[in-house]
Amino acid sequence: MSQEHLQRFDFLRTYKFNASINTFMSQRNHIDADIDELLQITHTLDNLFVPYKITTGFNIRVLKRSRR
């Protein structure tokens, strides 16, 4: 994901982006996950047309775009 897109996520408190695995990782366990932040991330990714998948522990994995 580009640096320009990542700057849109500076407001995050409980999620951090791990570039090596291309995933927004929750800093809390799945019981204490901040669902509002999760929804803000998914909303922003949807607006940027970035494909993603919500994985175990409410982590968000950014998928690679297919090249056509």
What ranges do the domains of the chain cover?
3-62
For position 66, what pLDDT does the model report?
54
| 50-54 LR contacts (CB < 8 Å, sep 24+) | 50/1, 50/5
15-17-23 Cα angle (round to 5): 100
DSSP H helices in the chain: 3-6, 35-47
Distance from the Cα of residue 59 to its chain's centroid: 7
For position 25, what pLDDT does the model report?
92
CB 47 within 8 A of CB 39: no
**Could you read off the pLDDT tens digit of each residue along the chain, which spans 68 residues?**
778 888 888 888 899 999 999 999 988 887 787 889 999 999 999 999 999 999 988 999 999 865 55
